[in-house]
A and B are shown apart, each in its own frame.
Chain A
Amino acid sequence: MEHIVIPAFLSLFVLVNVINLAALHTWLERKQSAVMQDRIGANRAKIFGLSLFGLFHPIADTIKMFLKEDFIPPSGNRLLHTLAPCLSMFFGLVAFAAIPFGNTIEIGGHVINLQVANLNVALLYIFAIMSMGVYGVVLAGFSSNNNYSLIGGLRASSQMISYEIALGLTVMGLVLIYGTIDLQKMVHAQGNYWFGWLPAWGVFLQPLGLFLFLAAGLAETKRTPYDVPEGESEIVGYFVEYSGMKFGMFFFADYLETILIASLTTTLFFGGWQVPWLQADGFHFPWGGGMLLSSFTVSLLQVASFSVKVLFFCWLFMTVRWTLPRFRYDQLINFGWKILFPLSILNLFVTAIVVLVFKL
């Protein structure tokens, strides 16, 4: 009983949080871009005269999406057309199963590992799922029987292939250093300290890796600097023929991928749920002193630390999305193959030499 209820509860917890955060991203997108551009942003949806910073707009959007006509092009493939947004969203959601959002928490004598699926190949699993995500996009482009959506789908697949190589090679550097592809073990390894005070986070080990990971990871989300598959200004994109909530699901999948990349960046480069100088029994500051905390508080602090880091990266990605202009298609492919790919190989090479020289 216990090994069914606890994972079920954990997965429900992650699902609810991730979906709510993705829905909040629609609000964040509008409000943050507005504040960045000296505007006010959506604030008209009101319930009993209460606008609450426009927080009702995601609800209003959802209601609108569900009430709109769900149009399937008569010449398109009905089954694949319906399947495509579901695939996009499914792969966006299941990847979160392998993200450790906390260490362990003790409730009623049970020690619960705060990771939905405690996989020892978590990193491989996430990368596999992320690659599968492109199937939804390609199917959408293919099944709509529309030239523009087909171009969008093809662009998405070429972009994914180009950037996933750089992404994978970048992460290999971390795999060499930590010697594992278990994300939970990676996070544990980042709980050590150098010189007694500097947290051994991936960002300090692989600064170039972080830059490459962010650059390639943002390409994975198909959002503005890399929005060639959508290309609102040229080919509306793979979802030209989608309306209503199916279009909304593609939109949602984009946000899910943004959150996924934020979570991955946190886990790989920023110590995951680690709080600096927080041990299992409380804070131990490098300048002496400390604070003893119960193990339950420590667990909660670690989950909070993970959430704060993920939210920060969501904010950062949104800032980047609303600051940078978009790439042209050839620039995008050139950037992926001629800059990111050689740099990630260089990064891997140097890391391998350093690991070889200093650890063996």
Chain B
Amino acid sequence: MIKTKIIHQPKQTLFERFYISGIIQGVWITTGHFVRNLTLHMLHRIGLFRNIPAAVTAQYPEEQKPLALRTRTRHRLTKREDGSPRCVACMMCETVCPARCIYIVAEEHPDPNIEKRPAKFDIDLGKCVYCGFCVEACPEDAIRMDTKIIDTAAYSRREMMLDINELLNPKQPIKA
């Protein structure tokens, strides 16, 4: 025997069925928001109460909502003290990448203590799924996803390819 719970809708009184009280309550709420926000907007114009927001909107291209610390954002390659990339072109990230969006061409490093370095290091943001596996896989802490850049918009797929220069010198993100 399955136990069922029958929920009885409360019967509406005649007064409620006219909806007039409901309509007035609804209009009261929206009017309250209207008056409050309009007053705040006007006070903001003359420079008062700037700390109380009149709207929840973030004007996105100009301002960005603060991101959580662990948010995975656009990749960057970290540098050694001399400014050259820390990457040793071990191909770990390229291998682990589920979207196969990393393309590395390795070359001999002039320093005999370091085996290889990337001649080319491209990431196709059009393919990247922002899983962060490349960061996890890297043995050298050479790739990170902490630039706080979240937009990938471009006019063509070609422009979504990031080469090693862009990865080493990421642009400044929009200030929160």
Contacts and interface: CB of A to CB of B under 8 A. Distances in A.
30 contacts: A34-B55, A35-B33, A35-B34, A35-B37, A35-B38, A35-B41, A36-B30, A36-B31, A36-B33, A36-B37, A37-B33, A38-B33, A38-B37, A38-B54, A38-B55, A38-B57, A39-B55, A39-B56, A39-B57, A40-B55, A40-B59, A211-B20, A319-B27, A319-B31, A319-B34, A320-B27, A323-B30, A324-B23, A324-B26, A324-B27
Given A40-B55, A323-B23, 19 more contacts: A34-B55, A35-B37, A35-B41, A36-B37, A37-B33, A38-B37, A38-B54, A38-B55, A38-B57, A39-B55, A39-B57, A211-B20, A319-B27, A319-B30, A319-B31, A320-B27, A323-B27, A323-B29, A323-B30
Interface of B: 20, 23, 26-27, 29-31, 33-34, 37-38, 41, 54-57, 59
A324 B24 CA distance: 10
B20 to A, nearest CB: 8
Given A35-B41, A324-B23, A40 B30 contact: no
A32 B34 contact: yes
By size class, the interface of chain A is: 10 to 19
A36 B57 CA distance: 13
Contacts of B37: 35-36, 38
Interface in A13-53: 32, 34-40
Nearest to A43: B59
A39 B54 CA distance: 8
A322 interface: yes
Given A32-B34, A319-B31, A38 B26 contact: no
A76 B56 CA distance: 46
A39 B42 CA distance: 15
